[in-house]
Amino acid sequence: MRNARLAPVLLSLLVLSPALPAAAQRNHLARTPPMGWNSWNHFAHRVNDRVIREAADAMVASGMRAAGYQYVNIDDTWEGQRDAQGNIQPNAKFPDMKALADYVHSKGLKLGIYSSPGPRTCAGFAGSYQHEQQDANTYAQWGIDYLKYDWCSASRVYRPDQMQEVYRKMALALLATHRPIVYSLCQYGWQKVWTWGASVGGNLWRTTGDINDTWRRMSQIGFNQSDLAPYAGPGHWNDPDMLEVGNGGMTDTEYRTHFSLWAILAAPLIAGNDLAHMTPATLAILTNRDVIAVDQDPLGKQGTRLSQDGTSEVWGKPLKGGAWAVGLFNRGEQPASITVRWPQLQLAGARHVRDLWAHKNLGRVRDQFTATVAPHGVVMIRVSR
Ligand code: GLA
Protein backbone atom coordinates (compact mmCIF):
# COMPACT_ATOMS: atom_id res chain seq x y z
CA MET A 1 0.00 0.00 0.00
CA ARG A 2 1.23 3.46 -0.91
CA ASN A 3 0.43 5.00 2.47
CA ALA A 4 2.19 2.27 4.37
CA ARG A 5 5.40 2.92 2.43
CA LEU A 6 5.11 6.65 2.93
CA ALA A 7 4.56 6.40 6.66
CA PRO A 8 8.19 5.78 7.68
CA VAL A 9 9.34 8.56 5.36
CA LEU A 10 6.87 10.99 6.89
CA LEU A 11 7.79 9.83 10.35
CA SER A 12 11.49 10.40 9.78
CA LEU A 13 10.71 13.82 8.32
CA LEU A 14 8.80 14.67 11.46
CA VAL A 15 11.52 13.41 13.75
CA LEU A 16 14.30 15.10 11.80
CA SER A 17 12.43 18.40 11.39
CA PRO A 18 14.85 21.09 12.58
CA ALA A 19 12.05 23.34 13.83
CA LEU A 20 10.62 21.03 16.46
CA PRO A 21 12.09 18.39 18.73
CA ALA A 22 11.03 14.77 18.33
CA ALA A 23 7.74 13.92 19.98
CA ALA A 24 9.47 12.23 22.88
CA GLN A 25 11.39 15.43 23.53
CA ARG A 26 8.31 17.66 23.60
CA ASN A 27 6.13 18.30 26.61
CA HIS A 28 2.94 18.98 24.60
CA LEU A 29 2.06 21.87 26.93
CA ALA A 30 0.98 25.46 26.21
CA ARG A 31 -1.24 24.68 23.24
CA THR A 32 -2.42 28.28 23.67
CA PRO A 33 -0.24 31.06 25.13
CA PRO A 34 0.27 30.58 28.89
CA MET A 35 -1.84 32.84 31.14
CA GLY A 36 -0.95 33.70 34.69
CA TRP A 37 0.89 36.11 36.92
CA ASN A 38 4.54 36.68 37.82
CA SER A 39 5.97 38.44 40.85
CA TRP A 40 8.79 40.40 39.20
CA ASN A 41 7.23 43.49 37.62
CA HIS A 42 5.54 44.65 40.81
CA PHE A 43 7.25 42.91 43.75
CA ALA A 44 10.79 42.22 42.47
CA HIS A 45 12.91 41.38 45.57
CA ARG A 46 9.89 41.75 47.89
CA VAL A 47 8.29 38.48 46.78
CA ASN A 48 7.70 35.93 49.54
CA ASP A 49 5.38 33.09 50.54
CA ARG A 50 2.63 35.48 51.65
CA VAL A 51 2.76 37.50 48.42
CA ILE A 52 2.35 34.29 46.39
CA ARG A 53 -0.57 33.04 48.49
CA GLU A 54 -2.26 36.44 48.25
CA ALA A 55 -1.76 36.47 44.49
CA ALA A 56 -3.35 33.03 44.25
CA ASP A 57 -6.25 34.10 46.49
CA ALA A 58 -6.77 37.26 44.45
CA MET A 59 -6.57 35.40 41.15
CA VAL A 60 -9.56 33.33 42.25
CA ALA A 61 -11.53 36.06 44.08
CA SER A 62 -11.14 38.61 41.30
CA GLY A 63 -12.45 36.29 38.61
CA MET A 64 -9.11 36.07 36.83
CA ARG A 65 -8.96 32.31 37.21
CA ALA A 66 -12.42 32.08 35.68
CA ALA A 67 -11.17 34.25 32.80
CA GLY A 68 -8.38 31.75 32.07
CA TYR A 69 -5.40 32.74 34.23
CA GLN A 70 -3.69 29.69 35.65
CA TYR A 71 -0.01 30.08 36.56
CA VAL A 72 1.21 31.87 39.69
CA ASN A 73 4.91 32.36 39.05
CA ILE A 74 7.65 33.10 41.56
CA ASP A 75 10.41 35.07 39.84
CA ASP A 76 13.94 35.72 41.08
CA THR A 77 15.05 36.04 44.75
CA TRP A 78 13.44 32.90 46.24
CA GLU A 79 16.69 30.88 46.16
CA GLY A 80 18.64 29.89 49.27
CA GLN A 81 21.74 27.74 49.80
CA ARG A 82 22.31 24.20 48.57
CA ASP A 83 22.33 21.52 51.25
CA ALA A 84 25.19 19.03 51.75
CA GLN A 85 23.84 16.88 48.89
CA GLY A 86 23.62 19.89 46.59
CA ASN A 87 19.85 20.19 46.74
CA ILE A 88 18.64 23.75 46.26
CA GLN A 89 16.66 25.15 49.18
CA PRO A 90 14.47 28.22 49.26
CA ASN A 91 15.62 31.14 51.40
CA ALA A 92 13.85 32.38 54.54
CA LYS A 93 11.15 34.13 52.51
CA PHE A 94 9.79 30.73 51.46
CA PRO A 95 9.64 28.43 54.51
CA ASP A 96 8.08 25.44 52.70
CA MET A 97 7.91 25.34 48.93
CA LYS A 98 5.97 22.06 48.80
CA ALA A 99 3.32 23.46 51.15
CA LEU A 100 3.11 26.57 49.00
CA ALA A 101 2.61 24.49 45.87
CA ASP A 102 -0.08 22.48 47.64
CA TYR A 103 -1.82 25.71 48.59
CA VAL A 104 -1.71 27.10 45.05
CA HIS A 105 -2.93 23.77 43.66
CA SER A 106 -5.78 23.71 46.19
CA LYS A 107 -6.99 26.92 44.55
CA GLY A 108 -7.13 25.20 41.16
CA LEU A 109 -4.00 27.05 40.02
CA LYS A 110 -0.44 26.09 39.11
CA LEU A 111 2.87 27.25 40.54
CA GLY A 112 5.86 28.52 38.57
CA ILE A 113 9.45 29.09 39.57
CA TYR A 114 12.59 30.74 38.23
CA SER A 115 16.25 29.82 37.77
CA SER A 116 19.30 30.42 35.59
CA PRO A 117 21.57 28.03 33.68
CA GLY A 118 24.45 30.05 35.12
CA PRO A 119 25.95 29.89 38.62
CA ARG A 120 23.96 33.00 39.63
CA THR A 121 20.56 34.41 38.72
CA CYS A 122 20.23 37.98 37.49
CA ALA A 123 19.62 39.14 41.07
CA GLY A 124 22.71 37.21 42.27
CA PHE A 125 21.03 34.16 43.84
CA ALA A 126 22.02 30.53 43.25
CA GLY A 127 21.50 29.31 39.68
CA SER A 128 21.23 25.76 38.35
CA TYR A 129 24.74 25.48 36.86
CA GLN A 130 25.95 21.88 37.25
CA HIS A 131 22.76 21.00 39.16
CA GLU A 132 20.31 20.96 36.25
CA GLN A 133 18.76 17.51 36.72
CA GLN A 134 18.91 17.81 40.48
CA ASP A 135 17.03 21.12 40.38
CA ALA A 136 14.46 19.80 37.91
CA ASN A 137 13.87 16.87 40.27
CA THR A 138 13.50 19.23 43.22
CA TYR A 139 10.99 21.37 41.33
CA ALA A 140 8.99 18.28 40.41
CA GLN A 141 9.03 17.08 44.04
CA TRP A 142 7.76 20.44 45.20
CA GLY A 143 4.98 20.34 42.59
CA ILE A 144 6.23 23.08 40.29
CA ASP A 145 4.39 23.47 36.97
CA TYR A 146 6.38 26.15 35.12
CA LEU A 147 10.05 27.16 34.92
CA LYS A 148 11.42 30.48 33.68
CA TYR A 149 15.10 29.86 32.89
CA ASP A 150 17.00 33.13 32.70
CA TRP A 151 20.45 33.29 31.07
CA CYS A 152 21.97 35.94 33.42
CA SER A 153 25.44 34.80 34.55
CA ALA A 154 25.58 31.86 32.13
CA SER A 155 27.79 34.01 29.88
CA ARG A 156 30.50 33.62 32.52
CA VAL A 157 30.65 29.83 32.10
CA TYR A 158 29.43 29.14 28.55
CA ARG A 159 30.37 30.33 25.09
CA PRO A 160 27.58 31.94 23.05
CA ASP A 161 27.53 28.93 20.70
CA GLN A 162 26.67 26.64 23.62
CA MET A 163 23.44 28.45 24.37
CA GLN A 164 21.15 26.06 22.52
CA GLU A 165 22.65 22.98 24.11
CA VAL A 166 22.44 24.63 27.54
CA TYR A 167 18.73 25.33 27.09
CA ARG A 168 18.11 21.84 25.71
CA LYS A 169 19.79 20.33 28.75
CA MET A 170 17.17 21.76 31.10
CA ALA A 171 14.35 20.85 28.70
CA LEU A 172 15.47 17.22 28.86
CA ALA A 173 15.93 17.40 32.64
CA LEU A 174 12.34 18.65 33.03
CA LEU A 175 11.03 15.92 30.72
CA ALA A 176 12.92 13.31 32.71
CA THR A 177 10.93 14.26 35.84
CA HIS A 178 7.72 13.13 34.06
CA ARG A 179 5.95 16.11 35.58
CA PRO A 180 4.34 18.48 33.06
CA ILE A 181 6.37 21.68 33.45
CA VAL A 182 6.02 24.60 31.04
CA TYR A 183 9.47 25.72 29.93
CA SER A 184 10.04 29.45 29.49
CA LEU A 185 13.31 30.60 27.92
CA CYS A 186 14.58 33.99 29.00
CA GLN A 187 17.69 35.23 27.19
CA TYR A 188 16.34 38.50 25.84
CA GLY A 189 15.99 37.38 22.22
CA TRP A 190 19.70 36.80 21.65
CA GLN A 191 20.82 34.73 18.64
CA LYS A 192 17.33 34.94 17.12
CA VAL A 193 15.97 32.54 19.72
CA TRP A 194 12.65 32.38 17.85
CA THR A 195 14.40 30.33 15.15
CA TRP A 196 15.55 27.61 17.62
CA GLY A 197 13.60 28.02 20.88
CA ALA A 198 11.07 25.33 19.99
CA SER A 199 13.75 22.91 18.79
CA VAL A 200 15.44 22.92 22.20
CA GLY A 201 12.12 22.26 23.94
CA GLY A 202 10.97 25.78 24.85
CA ASN A 203 7.27 26.56 25.16
CA LEU A 204 7.98 30.28 25.06
CA TRP A 205 11.00 32.53 24.71
CA ARG A 206 11.53 36.14 25.52
CA THR A 207 12.09 38.12 22.33
CA THR A 208 13.48 41.28 23.94
CA GLY A 209 15.18 42.82 26.94
CA ASP A 210 13.07 43.73 29.95
CA ILE A 211 9.83 45.63 29.69
CA ASN A 212 9.12 48.47 32.10
CA ASP A 213 5.99 50.34 33.08
CA THR A 214 6.22 53.13 30.51
CA TRP A 215 4.37 53.83 27.29
CA ARG A 216 7.71 54.31 25.56
CA ARG A 217 9.18 50.90 26.45
CA MET A 218 5.93 48.95 26.11
CA SER A 219 5.18 50.37 22.67
CA GLN A 220 8.80 50.03 21.53
CA ILE A 221 8.65 46.31 22.34
CA GLY A 222 5.09 45.55 21.29
CA PHE A 223 5.02 47.28 17.93
CA ASN A 224 8.32 45.63 16.94
CA GLN A 225 7.13 42.01 17.03
CA SER A 226 5.44 41.73 13.64
CA ASP A 227 8.29 39.94 11.85
CA LEU A 228 8.40 37.17 14.46
CA ALA A 229 4.88 35.92 13.71
CA PRO A 230 5.95 32.89 11.65
CA TYR A 231 7.78 31.39 14.64
CA ALA A 232 4.82 31.23 17.04
CA GLY A 233 2.29 28.43 17.20
CA PRO A 234 0.63 25.93 19.54
CA GLY A 235 3.21 24.80 22.09
CA HIS A 236 5.83 27.44 21.26
CA TRP A 237 5.30 31.17 21.61
CA ASN A 238 7.15 34.44 21.24
CA ASP A 239 7.23 36.22 24.60
CA PRO A 240 7.49 40.03 24.45
CA ASP A 241 7.69 40.00 28.28
CA MET A 242 5.18 40.17 31.08
CA LEU A 243 2.32 42.62 31.38
CA GLU A 244 2.62 45.95 33.18
CA VAL A 245 -1.17 46.51 33.22
CA GLY A 246 -2.15 48.10 36.53
CA ASN A 247 1.33 49.01 37.75
CA GLY A 248 0.64 52.75 37.54
CA GLY A 249 3.10 54.06 34.98
CA MET A 250 0.65 54.20 32.09
CA THR A 251 -2.91 55.42 31.65
CA ASP A 252 -5.77 52.93 31.39
CA THR A 253 -6.00 53.84 27.70
CA GLU A 254 -2.35 52.85 27.29
CA TYR A 255 -2.87 49.65 29.27
CA ARG A 256 -5.77 48.73 26.96
CA THR A 257 -3.38 49.21 24.04
CA HIS A 258 -0.76 47.05 25.83
CA PHE A 259 -3.25 44.24 26.50
CA SER A 260 -4.79 44.39 23.01
CA LEU A 261 -1.39 44.31 21.33
CA TRP A 262 -0.22 41.35 23.43
CA ALA A 263 -3.44 39.48 22.54
CA ILE A 264 -2.96 40.15 18.82
CA LEU A 265 0.63 38.92 19.21
CA ALA A 266 -0.61 35.65 20.78
CA ALA A 267 1.74 36.57 23.60
CA PRO A 268 1.72 34.87 26.98
CA LEU A 269 -0.63 36.90 29.21
CA ILE A 270 1.36 36.99 32.42
CA ALA A 271 0.02 39.77 34.63
CA GLY A 272 2.65 41.64 36.63
CA ASN A 273 0.64 43.85 38.97
CA ASP A 274 -0.50 43.55 42.60
CA LEU A 275 -3.60 41.40 42.13
CA ALA A 276 -4.74 41.90 45.72
CA HIS A 277 -4.97 45.67 45.24
CA MET A 278 -6.10 46.55 41.75
CA THR A 279 -8.56 49.12 40.46
CA PRO A 280 -11.80 48.06 38.76
CA ALA A 281 -10.36 49.45 35.51
CA THR A 282 -7.26 47.25 35.79
CA LEU A 283 -9.38 44.18 36.50
CA ALA A 284 -11.67 44.98 33.59
CA ILE A 285 -8.67 45.12 31.26
CA LEU A 286 -7.10 41.89 32.53
CA THR A 287 -10.40 40.00 32.37
CA ASN A 288 -11.69 41.28 29.03
CA ARG A 289 -12.90 37.95 27.72
CA ASP A 290 -13.35 39.20 24.16
CA VAL A 291 -9.68 40.17 24.01
CA ILE A 292 -8.50 37.08 25.90
CA ALA A 293 -10.34 34.94 23.34
CA VAL A 294 -8.22 36.55 20.63
CA ASP A 295 -5.02 35.71 22.48
CA GLN A 296 -6.19 32.18 23.24
CA ASP A 297 -7.64 31.43 19.81
CA PRO A 298 -6.95 27.75 19.08
CA LEU A 299 -5.52 28.43 15.62
CA GLY A 300 -2.51 29.86 17.47
CA LYS A 301 -1.47 32.36 14.79
CA GLN A 302 0.41 35.43 15.88
CA GLY A 303 -0.92 38.66 14.37
CA THR A 304 1.05 41.11 12.26
CA ARG A 305 1.01 44.74 11.19
CA LEU A 306 -1.20 45.00 8.12
CA SER A 307 -0.62 48.68 7.36
CA GLN A 308 0.85 51.82 8.81
CA ASP A 309 0.29 55.49 8.15
CA GLY A 310 2.53 57.62 10.32
CA THR A 311 1.57 56.86 13.91
CA SER A 312 -1.61 55.00 12.91
CA GLU A 313 -1.23 51.22 12.64
CA VAL A 314 -3.61 48.44 11.66
CA TRP A 315 -2.78 45.03 13.07
CA GLY A 316 -4.62 41.79 12.32
CA LYS A 317 -4.69 38.27 13.71
CA PRO A 318 -6.36 35.44 11.82
CA LEU A 319 -8.69 33.38 14.01
CA LYS A 320 -9.94 29.83 13.73
CA GLY A 321 -12.71 29.51 11.18
CA GLY A 322 -11.65 32.50 9.09
CA ALA A 323 -12.61 35.45 11.32
CA TRP A 324 -10.06 38.16 12.18
CA ALA A 325 -9.18 40.22 15.20
CA VAL A 326 -8.12 43.72 14.22
CA GLY A 327 -6.43 46.41 16.30
CA LEU A 328 -6.59 50.01 15.14
CA PHE A 329 -3.72 51.57 17.09
CA ASN A 330 -2.99 55.27 17.46
CA ARG A 331 0.59 55.79 18.64
CA GLY A 332 0.30 59.54 18.13
CA GLU A 333 -0.62 62.42 20.40
CA GLN A 334 -3.85 63.50 18.64
CA PRO A 335 -7.05 61.55 17.99
CA ALA A 336 -6.81 59.73 14.67
CA SER A 337 -9.27 58.26 12.22
CA ILE A 338 -8.05 54.76 11.32
CA THR A 339 -9.50 52.40 8.73
CA VAL A 340 -9.18 48.68 8.09
CA ARG A 341 -10.30 47.54 4.65
CA TRP A 342 -11.71 44.04 4.27
CA PRO A 343 -9.31 43.07 1.46
CA GLN A 344 -6.49 43.50 4.02
CA LEU A 345 -8.15 40.51 5.73
CA GLN A 346 -8.79 38.67 2.46
CA LEU A 347 -12.49 39.37 3.04
CA ALA A 348 -15.11 41.26 1.05
CA GLY A 349 -18.69 42.52 1.24
CA ALA A 350 -20.65 42.88 4.49
CA ARG A 351 -19.11 41.33 7.61
CA HIS A 352 -20.28 41.20 11.21
CA VAL A 353 -18.18 43.43 13.42
CA ARG A 354 -17.89 43.27 17.21
CA ASP A 355 -16.18 45.97 19.28
CA LEU A 356 -14.05 44.04 21.79
CA TRP A 357 -13.67 46.88 24.32
CA ALA A 358 -17.24 48.22 24.10
CA HIS A 359 -18.44 44.57 24.11
CA LYS A 360 -20.97 45.48 21.43
CA ASN A 361 -22.00 43.91 18.17
CA LEU A 362 -21.98 46.64 15.54
CA GLY A 363 -23.95 44.65 12.96
CA ARG A 364 -22.93 44.04 9.37
CA VAL A 365 -20.38 46.47 8.01
CA ARG A 366 -19.58 46.77 4.32
CA ASP A 367 -16.08 46.87 2.78
CA GLN A 368 -14.20 48.62 5.58
CA PHE A 369 -14.38 49.85 9.14
CA THR A 370 -13.25 53.25 10.40
CA ALA A 371 -12.92 54.44 13.99
CA THR A 372 -11.66 57.55 15.70
CA VAL A 373 -8.96 56.32 18.06
CA ALA A 374 -7.75 58.22 21.14
CA PRO A 375 -4.07 59.18 21.46
CA HIS A 376 -2.07 56.09 22.57
CA GLY A 377 -5.35 54.20 22.29
CA VAL A 378 -6.82 51.27 20.42
CA VAL A 379 -10.10 50.22 18.91
CA MET A 380 -10.18 46.47 18.69
CA ILE A 381 -12.74 44.55 16.68
CA ARG A 382 -13.54 41.06 15.54
CA VAL A 383 -14.54 40.73 11.90
CA SER A 384 -16.56 37.67 10.93
CA ARG A 385 -15.64 35.51 7.99
C1 GLA B 1 15.98 39.44 34.17
C2 GLA B 1 14.67 39.02 33.50
C3 GLA B 1 13.51 39.62 34.28
C4 GLA B 1 13.56 39.15 35.72
C5 GLA B 1 14.90 39.51 36.34
C6 GLA B 1 15.06 38.89 37.72
O7 GLA B 1 16.18 40.80 34.07
O8 GLA B 1 14.64 39.44 32.17
O9 GLA B 1 12.27 39.25 33.68
O10 GLA B 1 13.35 37.77 35.76
O11 GLA B 1 15.98 39.05 35.54
O12 GLA B 1 16.31 39.11 38.26
In a domain, 15, yes or no: no
In a domain, 172, yes or no: yes
343 class by beta-carbon count within 10 Å (0-12 exposed, 13-18 middle, 19+ buried): exposed
- Nearest atom of ligand 1 to the alpha carbon of 186: 8
Residue at which a domain ends, from 243, 277, 295: 295
- In this structure, which residue's CA is closest to atom 5 in ligand 1? 122
123 Cβ inside 6 Å of ligand 1: yes
Percent of the chain residues topping a pLDDT of 90: 94
Mean pLDDT, residues 147-162 taken together: 98
- Per-residue pLDDT of 168-207, as tens digits, reads 999 999 999 999 999 999 999 999 999 999 999 999 999 9
In a domain, 2, yes or no: no
213 Cβ inside 6 Å of ligand 1: no
In a domain, 14, yes or no: no
| Gap from CA of 111 to ligand 1 centroid (Å) | 18
75 Cβ inside 6 Å of ligand 1: yes
Say how many domains are in the chain: 2
| Backbone CA torsion sign across 288, 31, 100, 152 | negative
- Shared-domain flag, residues 235 and 368: no
Q: What is the DSSP string of 94-149?
A: -S-HHHHHHHHHHTT-EEEEEE-SSSB-TTS-B--TT-HHHHHHHHHHHT--EEEE
- Shared-domain flag, residues 280 and 327: no
Percent of the chain residues topping a pLDDT of 70: 95
- Shared-domain flag, residues 280 and 375: no
Average pLDDT, the chain: 95
- Shared-domain flag, residues 250 and 314: no
- Nearest atom of ligand 1 to the alpha carbon of 242: 9
pLDDT score for 194: 98
- In this structure, which residue's CA is closest to atom 9 in ligand 1? 210
In a domain, 11, yes or no: no
Residue at which a domain ends, from 243, 268, 295: 295
pLDDT score for 20: 65
Q: Cα(264)–Cα(262) distance, rounded to whole angstroms?
A: 6
Whether 135 is catalytic: no
In a domain, 6, yes or no: no
Could you tell me which of 236, 147, 150 has the C-alpha nearest to residue 194? 236
- Shared-domain flag, residues 317 and 275: no
pLDDT score for 23: 76
CATH value at residue 215: 3.20.20.70
- Shared-domain flag, residues 244 and 344: no
In a domain, 35, yes or no: yes
| Gap from CA of 382 to ligand 1 centroid (Å) | 34
- Shared-domain flag, residues 242 and 314: no
CATH value at residue 327: 2.60.40.1180
- Per-residue pLDDT of 206-256, as tens digits, reads 999 999 999 999 999 999 999 999 999 999 999 999 999 999 999 999 999
- Shared-domain flag, residues 218 and 346: no
185 class by beta-carbon count within 10 Å (0-12 exposed, 13-18 middle, 19+ buried): buried
Residue at which a domain ends, from 295, 316, 345: 295
210 Cβ inside 6 Å of ligand 1: yes
- In this structure, which residue's CA is closest to atom 1 in ligand 1? 122
- Shared-domain flag, residues 282 and 322: no
- In this structure, which residue's CA is closest to atom 8 in ligand 1? 210
- Shared-domain flag, residues 244 and 212: yes
Whether 150 is catalytic: yes
Q: How many CB atoms lie within 10 A of CB 300?
A: 18
Pocket test for ligand 1, best of 38, 147, 150 (most atoms within 8 A of CB): 150
- Nearest atom of ligand 1 to the alpha carbon of 188: 8
Sheet (strand 350-355) strand order: 304-309, 312-318, 324-330, 378-383, 350-355, 360-366
Model confidence at 324, in pLDDT bands (50, 70, 90)? very high
- Shared-domain flag, residues 255 and 369: no
- Shared-domain flag, residues 285 and 339: no
- Domain membership of residue 253 as a residue range: 21-295
In a domain, 1, yes or no: no
- Nearest atom of ligand 1 to the alpha carbon of 114: 10
